[in-house]
């Protein structure tokens, strides 16, 4: 392959970049979106053909090393070509049907949004450079993958259930040597061998933390998969805001809001997001388990387990006390988390109330993105004020209230007469109030023990607004009802 690669490199034209458009004007317009360097394609086809006809891992790796060599040559040529087109040393030689020029020109302006005041030649150059830069980015991604992972040699693939998809079609997440990305069958995890099972579970847990929603891998039992999908799709972390109002349980209206999936930072100019190695993996496991609990009561149990874990493996390591009181631990983490700047969880508040009886959607507020972590902090302050004025809870400290609810009346049953039952507007509301604090504390503990997590996600709201078509549509759809 090296000799053939050298032959191709020697024959590259440095004076002209040739673009031959089809005679049919419609096809010529479409072709403009597929401008690329194709000189190396025969070597890629040869490598792919050899790879697909061998199962020997050593031979596959050798083929991929040759493919890497070709990709590097292509990347080098693309960089040189782009620079030389920009400085004018390489000319674009465009051949096309003269009768199609007007159609091609309008396609460049209307379809590809290139300034209509520019000359035909300038528009062609802009579109050419755009597609060559796109090819260069894809080539750099291929180089990065082949140098570091060689996913094509991975033997195991598992699909995520529940119609799970990452936010962007070409997005790929990497944790250690495991890959998670979208495929034609859904989203899937690729890994080398069974020894990576623990890392695979960690990746799912990290993703659930960022997305604040549960996920799962498909089993071979279709019926069980359907049950899990229906169950987990009912979870909504935004209930933490809703269930804290007593009127919610007696009101046919509901606030129309939706959680936004996170936007991850990409590694260099690739489409890869690389998650950092995590510390205290059990924290992520417990948090993911809490997301799989639909009702506030069992969720409280799992969230409280995170506090207990942190008491043993974080709090005691910092202070090394002779005796540890969980109430003191709760108070400490509460004070810390109220000063903490959390990784954001954005949700779109459509500014509307939905009446389940009439089916009407009435706009009440401005449509906007809000940060759940900020809203939960506000809610926590409101709950503290309410508890301080409560005849029974008032004399108790915040740590006592959370401890007695999260550990005694929920997890252990207490003396029996204080057990949590299905009195939604009172006891379930109280559990949800407690869960507001436990959610904040749990996420604080995870972020505090894994400070690198914040480096892989976009924090600024404008990035989310830019990638949300519903925001503009809903903002303009209705006038606010005073």
pLDDT in tens, 116-158: 999 999 999 999 999 999 999 999 999 999 999 999 999 899 9
Give the count of beta carbons closer than 10 Å to the beta carbon of residue 146: 18
pLDDT(84) > 60: yes
Q: Measure Cα distances from 258 to 249, 253, 255, 468 in Å.
A: 20, 16, 10, 12
pLDDT digits (tens, 9 = 90+) for 55-67: 999 999 999 999 9
**Token pair of 294 as six digits:** 């639909």
Kindly report which listed range (67-71, 87-91, 242-246, 422-426) carries the lowest average pLDDT score: 422-426
Given a contact cutoff of 8 angstroms between Cβ atoms, the answer to whether 156 and 193 are in contact is: yes
Instruction: Please give the Cα distance from 387 to 398 (Å, whole number).
Output: 8
**What pLDDT band is residue 250 in, cutting at 50, 70 and 90?**
confident
Output the pLDDT for position 413.
Answer: 55
Q: Hey, which of 234-243, 310-319, 438-447, 455-464 has the most confident mean pLDDT?
A: 438-447
Per the listing, tokens 């050899």 go with: 50
Instruction: Please give the Cα distance from 188 to 157 (Å, whole number).
Output: 6
Q: Measure Cα distances from 472 to 78, 366, 463 in Å.
A: 38, 11, 14
SS3 206: helix
CA 150 to chain centre: 23
CA-only gyration radius of the chain, Å? 28
pLDDT(233) > 60: yes
Mean pLDDT taken over the chain = 89
Given a contact cutoff of 8 angstroms between Cβ atoms, the answer to whether 370 and 240 are in contact is: no
Mean pLDDT of 410-439: 72
Instruction: Please give the Cα distance from 144 to 267 (Å, whole number).
Output: 10
Given a contact cutoff of 8 angstroms between Cβ atoms, the answer to whether 337 and 440 are in contact is: yes
Short-list 349, 341, 373, CA closest to 454: 341
SS3 393: coil
pLDDT digits (tens, 9 = 90+) for 181-227: 988 778 999 998 887 899 999 999 999 999 999 999 999 999 999 99
- What ranges do the domains of the chain cover? 2-150, 154-234, 235-263+279-477
Short-list 319, 286, 284, CA closest to 447: 284
Output the pLDDT for position 468.
Answer: 79
**What pLDDT band is residue 244 in, cutting at 50, 70 and 90?**
confident
pLDDT(12) > 60: yes
Output the pLDDT for position 59.
Answer: 94
pLDDT(42) > 50: yes
pLDDT(113) > 50: yes
pLDDT(482) > 50: no
H or E, element range at 159: strand 156-159
Residues 185, 293, 231, 226: is their CA dihedral positive or negative?
Answer: positive
């Amino acid at each position: 392959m090296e000799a053939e690669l050298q032959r191709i490199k020697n024959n590259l034209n440095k004076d002209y970049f040739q673009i031959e458009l089809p005679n049919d004007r419609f096809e010529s317009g479409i072709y403009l979106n597929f401008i690329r360097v194709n000189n190396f394609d025969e070597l890629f086809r040869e490598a792919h053909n050899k790879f697909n006809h061998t199962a020997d891992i050593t031979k596959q790796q050798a083929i991929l090393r040759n493919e890497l060599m070709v990709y590097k040559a292509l990347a080098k040529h693309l960089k040189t070509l782009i620079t030389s087109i920009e400085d004018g040393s390489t000319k674009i030689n465009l051949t096309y049907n003269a009768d199609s020029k007007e159609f091609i020109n309008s396609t460049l302006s209307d379809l590809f949004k290139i300034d209509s005041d520019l000359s035909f030649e300038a528009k062609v150059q802009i579109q050419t450079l755009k597609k060559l830069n796109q090819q260069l980015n894809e080539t750099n991604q291929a180089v990065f993958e082949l140098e570091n992972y060689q996913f094509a040699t991975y033997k195991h693939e598992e699909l995520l259930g529940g119609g799970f998809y990452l936010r962007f079609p070409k997005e790929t997440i990497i944790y250690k040597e495991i890959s998670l990305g979208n495929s034609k069958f859904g989203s899937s995890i690729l890994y080398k061998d069974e020894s990576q099972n623990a890392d695979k579970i960690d990746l799912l847990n990290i993703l659930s933390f960022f997305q604040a929603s549960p996920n799962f891998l498909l089993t071979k039992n279709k019926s069980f998969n359907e049950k899990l999908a229906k169950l987990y799709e009912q979870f909504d972390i935004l209930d933490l805001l809703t269930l804290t109002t007593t009127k919610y349980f007696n009101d046919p209206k509901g606030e129309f809001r939706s959680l936004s999936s996170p936007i991850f930072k990409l590694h260099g100019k690739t489409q890869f997001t690389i998650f950092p190695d995590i510390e205290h993996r059990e924290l992520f496991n417990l948090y993911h388990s809490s997301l799989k609990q639909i009702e506030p009561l069992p969720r409280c149990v799992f969230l409280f387990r995170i506090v207990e874990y942190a008491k043993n493996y974080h709090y005691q390591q910092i202070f090394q006390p002779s005796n540890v009181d969980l109430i003191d631990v709760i108070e400490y983490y509460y004070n810390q988390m109220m000063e903490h700047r959390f990784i954001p969880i954005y949700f779109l508040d459509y500014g509307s109330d939905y009446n389940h009886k009439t089916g009407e959607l009435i706009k009440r507020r401005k449509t906007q993105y809000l940060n759940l972590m900020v809203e939960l902090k506000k809610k926590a302050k409101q709950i503290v004020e309410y508890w301080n004025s409560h005849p029974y809870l008032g004399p108790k400290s915040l740590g006592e209230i959370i401890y007695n609810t999260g550990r005694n009346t929920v997890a252990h049953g207490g003396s029996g007469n204080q057990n949590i039952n299905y009195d939604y507007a009172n006891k379930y509301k109280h559990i949800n109030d407690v869960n507001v604090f436990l959610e904040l504390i749990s996420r604080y503990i995870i972020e505090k023990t894994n400070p690198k997590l914040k480096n892989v996600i976009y924090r600024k709201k404008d990035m989310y607004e830019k990638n949300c078509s519903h925001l503009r549509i809903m903002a303009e759809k209705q006038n606010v009802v005073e």
